[in-house]
Structure formats: structure tokens, C-alpha cells
A and B are shown apart, each in its own frame.
Chain A
Amino acid sequence: MSLETANTPNSYLSSLPKTLTGITGLDEITKGGLPKGRPTLICGSAGCGKTLFSIEFIVRGALEFNEPGVFMAFEEKSEELAQNVASLGFDLNQLQKDKLIKLDHVHIERSEIEETGEYDLDGLFIRLGYAIDQIGAKRVVLDTIENLFSGLSNQGILRAELRRLFEWLKARKVTTIITGERGDGTLTRHGLEEYVSDCVILLDHRVSNQISTRLLRIVKYRGSMHGTNEYPFLINEKGISVLPVTSLTLDHPVSSERVSSGIPALDKMLDGQGFFKGSSILISGTAGTGKTSIAASFANEACLRNERCIYFAFEESSFQIIRNMRSIGFDLQTHIDKGLLKFQASRPTLNGLEMHLVAIHKQIKEFKPSVVILDPITNLITVGTVSDVKSMLIRLIDFLQAEQITVLFTALTLNNVINEQTDEGVSSLVDAWLLVKDIEFNGERNRGLYVMKSRGMKHSNQVREFIITDKGLDLVNVYLGSEGVLTGSAREAQQLLEETGIVIREYATNRKDREIERKKLILESKIASLKEEFESVQDELNKTYIEDELRKEVMEKNREQMTRSRHNE
């Protein structure tokens, strides 16, 4: 697609009329479906789903868009075709009776035909025209018209007639799908792409590591914007679903609502409120660190809030998880009975990644949960490469965020050296990343938990000890002292030691206090006796002093008396 086309005003782009196919995902990639009233070529190698693709186009057109369609089969007989697609829930016979579709099997066999001169394909034109008129068809499929090349030998006539046919179909204003087998180095064996120039879709079927992936690519779509990537698609019991790899824009609505993790102490680490609603959370850690327990706690909490939750387990069966979680105080069975919790346990190797993604999509669409858990995503690596898993998870996260569903992944880190870069490469995609880690010390193994990142909130930078008890999960502060970080029994011992210290200190202080008191009493009594001694000395001194005074007075008196008496004489 040239820049020039991309720059044309939107009014022009939107004016190109399109026909919705009704095939899940395809209409999004093509931004509205196939070009209306024009032929579209669908090519691919054998068994890549061309026929199914085109029959779904016809059936969906008839059922969902009220556009009857003619299916002209050059390969399979009508009855075979009806049987083949019955497994998808398409009742072609009934649709034929209802005049919504018309199946026509074209039988052409070179050995039965002798070419004796000039001819044309008027028979095909009349036949198709009659079928279109009979049911008022708006859609036509020619599957696979290239078979004519094996039935008829005059290539010159055939090519001219095919060109005429496509022009004629355009003039009839029917939206047509022409299928073609892929040739060597060309899109189709007989170069049909030369005649169909408006829209070409290529289907592919690749097998790597014994797991197959179907891929769809829009090679060309004249006059319209379209996704140019290879899009994986699936054929399941509901037909074809194409999955856009990523939404091209990052414009999900966001919520500032918070959801609890089910562990109050963990919520406290996350700004006191827990995770954001609709965010993606990764819990990684080594084996046996309690990742599943955290996940179950989150699920349990969601169910207690009366919200729905789907738990995709890739390692354990649902019964195993329910039994195991009962031992730590989570009764998941009651949630299942209430219809709030759903387990979807499967081995990753059951399907390819794309099939898993579609299964997840389907379950989510049906169950409409507000919380989704994938435990663990690391197991998916067994069915794809790291980049495949990453691309799948990107798409999943995109989808979940658009739906405002909170998702929690667990991931197993294989060794104790934590590689902060990878973890299936999703660590950069997730909003919150918790790490559970073994702390081996003093002959025992304990769990430490910390928040590696948590977008958009203040979060604790502390390592907490993560404890699994039969009453649930809890986090406690690790002991930070002169001897470093202590956990488990070392932490408890240290705590005990501290408590002993306090008691001893208190006792010591008490003894000193009493001694001071005693000293005080002794001194005080000494002071009292000294005081008394002083008073008696004072008394003694005072006594002599007064006697002296008295004597002096008396002697004075006596002398006066004597003086007076002498004068009187």
C-alpha cells in the first residue's frame, strides 16, 4: 500500500463500499469486509481452509446480513460439501430449501469431453446467472475455478472467458470470492491474480515443532487501508476466527479503581489498596515459592467480591488446585458452585498457541469474568518459541485491557539468578510485577516477596517474608539488623533474643533504682542524727551562756546592795 493511497482523504476511503464477511476478526483487519460488488481472490495451498473460508462467507451472508449467496463448487459435490460443513453447524440443505443459498456442483472431466473447435463458457454464465436470479444472490463463490484449466485444454479461450466472467460478475454487482490453489512462485497456479486485482487474500498453513498454525495475509486491497501482517486464524467448531495480532493503537480505557490482592499485607505494599482494575499482573518465582497460592488468593478474593473469575491452569488439574488451596484456607469449591469461578485446565501441548488464545478468547467472551488467571505462562513455551509466546500474550493483554479485565500471570523462573530482562518478555507489558524468591539461610528455606514494579502507584521497596499458613497467606517484615536480613526461625530467634534483652535490662534498672533509694534513706537518717547532735550541743552552749548572764546580773545586784549599805552607815 503506497503512501499516496494512505494519504488520500478519509472521505474517499470510507466511500469504498464494503461487504461484511461475518468472519470473526476478518472484518476488523479489512476495516469493513471485502470490496462490495467486486471479486476477491483467496489463494493458498491445499488444506489451508479456502473452501471453508468461502462457505462461511456465503452462510454468514445469508444468515446475518440477509444476502443470499451462490456457491459454485468445481471440486466437491454439493452433498459432500453439506456434510463437510455440517460439523460447523451450517445446515446447507436447510439453507438451500429456504432459498438463502444455492449450491451448484460443476462437474468437468477432460476424458469425457472432445474439443472440436471454437467454444465459449456461455454455459457457465447462463448457469451462474440463473442461480443468482433464482435467489436474488448478492454473494458468489467460485471454488476453485482453476479446475476449468484441467477440464478444458484451450488456454487462450479460457483466459479470455475468465476475464469476461469477472467483468460480468462486477457488472452484476455481486461480491465474489474466487479461490485458487497456490502455484510455484505465484499466488495461483494459473495466474488468476491477473484478473482479480481488487483484493487478494493469501492463506497459509505452517507446521513448526509439530504444531500447526494457520495464517492469513491480505496481499492486496486496492483503494482501502488494511492490516498487512500475517494474522493467525483458527478453524474450530464455530468456523473461522482471525485474530488481529495487536491492536494498532494503544488507547485502552483505564480505570483508577483498585482491587485487593486478597493478602492485606500485600495490598499495604501496593499503596495500601492493591492492584488497579483492568491491569495485568505478573508473579514470577522459582518452583514452590507459592505463585499458585497467590493466584488462588486473588481468585478467591475476586469471588468474595461477587465477581467472576476464570482460572486457566496449564500445570495442575482443577481438582488438584481446589484440594491444595483448601489446605491454606481457600474454599474454591463454593465459588465454583455459585458459578463465580471457572477452572479451565489443559496441557499446553493440547493445542498450538493460537488455539489456546482462541480458547481463552472464547471462554472469556462466554463467561465474562472480571479477573482472569493464567497459571503458569511459562508452560506455554513448550508449544512455541519465546517470541511466539510473547506475541500471543501481547494480544491477550490487549484484548483483556480493552475489556477491562484484570489478568494475573504466574511465571516460573528456572534458576535463582533472576533475569530481570525476560520472563517470557512480558515483564515490560505487565503493569505490576511481583517476585517471589527463595531465601536460603541457616539451614532453611524461606520465601521473600517484593514488588519489582507497579505502574502508577507508590509501592513498597521492601522485601517481605511471605508466609503460607493454614489460615491463608501473609507477609511479615523481615528482620533487618547488624547481622543482615533474617527470615524464618532466624528471624524468630532474633526476636526472642531481643525480648530477653529487654527483660534483663529492665531488671538491672530496677536493682539500681532500689540501691539509690537505700543510699538515700541511709543518708537521710545520718542527716537526722547529726541534726539532733547539733541541737543538743546548741542547748549545752546556750545553758552556760544563760548561767553566766544570770551570775553576772546577780553579782551586779549584790555589788549595788553592798555599795548602798556602805553609804548608809
Chain B
Amino acid sequence: MINQSPTQESTDPYSEGQHYVLQLFVTGISLNSVRAIANIKQICEQYLPGKYSLEIIDVHQQKMLAEREQLIALPLLIKRLPLPERRLIGDLSDTKKVLSGLGITN
């Protein structure tokens, strides 16, 4: 249900002021979900090594979340921190859009 990122570093999350808290809502092992998980992991590893936490949630397992989190289109990636909160839908294959959505400039 909740997959903590295995690559969480032990460094102080706020030392660089840019700790990312991400939530990814998926539905089981659908094609889009699998692709989205793979894509976000790759992006995080590449651009945010050691300064993010990623929670992957299967909506099928927690259906009441759908209403609470205003879920419509899935997969959905919510960037909780840093503010402002952003919502990204889709399988996250468009890396450029994902990066601009997460506010990561390179």
C-alpha cells in the first residue's frame, strides 16, 4: 500500500530547503499505473536524489480516498511539499512537463 522510497537518504531533509513530499495515486497494476510508478521513480532518482519521499497509494485499496482527495483522472501525482501543491495526472511519460510541474529547473 504505502511504499516508502528505498532511497531515502539520512541527510537532514530541510538542509537544502527543497525536500519533496510526493504522493502517487494509482489503480492496481494497470498499464498506466505501472508506467507512472516507473517514470516517477526514475525522475526522482535523477533529479531529486536523496531529497524526496514518495508514497504510492492504490486507490482500489482505499476507496474513500477518492472523494477526499478529489480523484478523477488517474494516475495522479500530488506534490505536497514544497508549496504550492501541484497535481499531475497521467503516466508521467512527458518528463519535461513533470519537471515543470514539480518546479524542478535544471
Show the binding face of A for B, using Cβ within 8 Å. Answer: 104, 106-108, 112-124, 126-127, 129-131, 148, 151-152
Known: A113-B88, A126-B60, A130-B67. A119 touches B97 (CB 8 A): no
Closest Cβ–Cβ distance, residue A133 to chain B (whole Å): 8
Q: A123 to B90, Cβ gap below 8 A? A: no
Q: B59 to A119, Cβ gap below 8 A? A: no
Show the binding face of B for A, using Cβ within 8 Å. Answer: 25, 27, 30, 32, 35-36, 39, 59-60, 63-64, 66-67, 70-77, 86-94, 97-98, 100-101
Identity of the chain A residue whose Cβ is nearest the Cβ of B71 in the assembled complex: A123
Q: B66 to A127, Cβ gap below 8 A? A: yes
What chain B residues lie within 8 Å of A113 (beta carbons)? Answer: 73, 87-89
What chain A residues lie within 8 Å of B30 (beta carbons)? Answer: 120, 122
Q: Contact check: which of A104, A112, A126, A130 meets B87 at CB < 8 Å? A: A112
CA distance A155 to B100 in the complex (A): 23
CA distance A124 to B27 in the complex (A): 12
What does DSSP make chain A's interface, helix, strand, loop or mixed?
A: mixed
Q: A116 to B72, Cβ gap below 8 A? A: no
What chain B residues lie within 8 Å of A107 (beta carbons)? Answer: 70
What chain A residues lie within 8 Å of B39 (beta carbons)? Answer: 117
What chain B residues lie within 8 Å of A115 (beta carbons)? Answer: 88-90, 94, 97
Closest Cβ–Cβ distance, residue A77 to chain B (whole Å): 12
Closest Cβ–Cβ distance, residue B54 to chain A (whole Å): 15
Known: A119-B75, A126-B63. A114 touches B97 (CB 8 A): yes
Q: Contact check: which of A112, A119, A129, A151 meets B91 at CB < 8 Å? A: A119
What chain B residues lie within 8 Å of A131 (beta carbons)? Answer: 67
Which of B27, B70, B94 has the most CB atoms of chain A within a 10 A radius of its CB? B70
Q: Contact check: which of A112, A118, A121, A130 meets B90 at CB < 8 Å? A: A118
Q: A123 to B59, Cβ gap below 8 A? A: yes
Known: A113-B87, A118-B90. A123 touches B72 (CB 8 A): yes
- What are 17 A-B residue pairs whose CB atoms fall within 8 Å in the complex? A113-B87, A114-B98, A114-B100, A116-B88, A116-B89, A117-B39, A117-B91, A117-B92, A118-B90, A119-B90, A120-B74, A122-B27, A126-B59, A126-B63, A127-B71, A130-B63, A130-B64
What chain B residues lie within 8 Å of A121 (beta carbons)? Answer: 72-74
Known: A114-B87, A119-B89. A148 touches B72 (CB 8 A): yes
What chain B residues lie within 8 Å of A104 (beta carbons)? Answer: 67
Q: A118 to B93, Cβ gap below 8 A? A: yes
Q: A120 to B88, Cβ gap below 8 A? A: no
CA distance A152 to B74 in the complex (A): 12
Q: A116 to B98, Cβ gap below 8 A? A: yes
Known: A118-B93, A119-B32, A119-B90. A129 touches B74 (CB 8 A): no
What chain B residues lie within 8 Å of A118 (beta carbons)? Answer: 32, 35, 90-91, 93
Q: Contact check: which of A112, A116, A126 meets B97 at CB < 8 Å? A: A116
Q: B72 to A114, Cβ gap below 8 A? A: no
Closest Cβ–Cβ distance, residue A143 to chain B (whole Å): 15
